[in-house]
Structure formats: C-alpha cells, structure tokens
Amino acid sequence: MQQNSLSKQEEKSQRSGKHRKSSYLPLVISVQRLLVLPFLILSLHNGFVFVADSLFLFVIATDFADGYIARKLGVSSKLGARFDAAIDFFFIFCVFLYFVAQGFYSVWLLFLIAVAFVQFLLSNLFSRLVYDPVGKYYGSLLYGAVGLTLLFSGQLVHEVVTAGIIVATVALFLSRLLCLVKT
C-alpha cells in the first residue's frame, strides 16, 4: 500500500517537473527573437536581403508562437506578457535604430517609439489591464512597418510608415489615457 502511494507521489512530482520545464518554453521562444536580431542586422548591412527577410519571418513566427503556446500550456502570466512586450520593443527599437542609421527614418521617430513603450510600462504600473488591444495593434503595426521597410525601398514607403506610426502612437496614447481614467 505504501509503495503504491509512493509511486503516485513520484508520478505527480515527475508531472510537475515536466510542467515546470514546459512553462519555460514560451520564454525560450521569445528569447529567440533577441538571438536572431544581430544576424538580421548583419544580413541587412551586408545586403543579404533574402536572409534578412527570412530571419524577419522567423521573428514574426516566434511572436505568434510564444503567446499561443503559453495559452495552450496554461502558463500565460502578466510577467510573461510584459516580458514578451519588452522583447518586441527591444527588437523593433534596434531594427529602427538601424533604419535611422541608414537614413530611412528620422531619429525623432525612434524617440516616439521609445516614448510609447515607456508609456506602456508606466500605465501598466497604475492599471491592472495587461492586454491593451490598441497596444497589441501598435506592436503589430510596428512589425508591419519593419516588414514594409524590408520589402520596399523608397521615400514614399518611408513617409507612409512614418505617418502610420504617428497616427497609431496618438491612438495608443489616447487609448491608454482612457484606460487610466476608467480605472
């Protein structure tokens, strides 16, 4: 009888150990975006457009996969969501930093993206809301802006991307202000 209950405890311990290991999977997937970043920048710098585009598609896939897997495994958390947003910001900021260095965009656009992320962090301190649909769309828009810049060159694309980021940033600030006023 005691041996049977001992094996049940061991089985439970093994399951919880597997669960702990799988709870890190979304984190590992998110961190891969950071690991790919220097290779993407180097590929762009050296004119390996196909490689850069492929790495960017990988980054997009990991951005979708980490949240999906966290929800499927039941390991999503506020900290995980904030960590994912921080990695997204760092990735986007670094790519836009490269774009600014190449003369595609003005440095003030980089500043605007940074202010939007700081606003996200500060508003999360005062609000229980982690999922902000406008914030999610803002991140998607920024990823889209990176994709458009990678795929198409030219002043018109840069102006459209700049205008889109300005409009989306204003919408983001207004959305967060409304969320803070409501809480």
Asked if residue 120 has pLDDT above 60, the reply is yes
The 10s digit of each residue's pLDDT in 20-68 is 667 788 889 999 999 999 999 999 999 999 999 999 999 999 999 998 9
CATH number of 2-182: 1.20.120
Asked if residue 170 has pLDDT above 60, the reply is yes
Asked if residue 134 has pLDDT above 90, the reply is no
Asked if residue 5 has pLDDT above 60, the reply is no
* pTM (global) more than 0.85: no
CA distance 117 to 96: 14
For the chain, the structural domain boundaries read 2-182
Taking alpha carbons only, the member of 71, 82, 58 closest to residue 25 is 71
CA distance 104 to 155: 8
Asked if residue 71 has pLDDT above 70, the reply is yes
The average confidence (pLDDT) of the chain is: 84
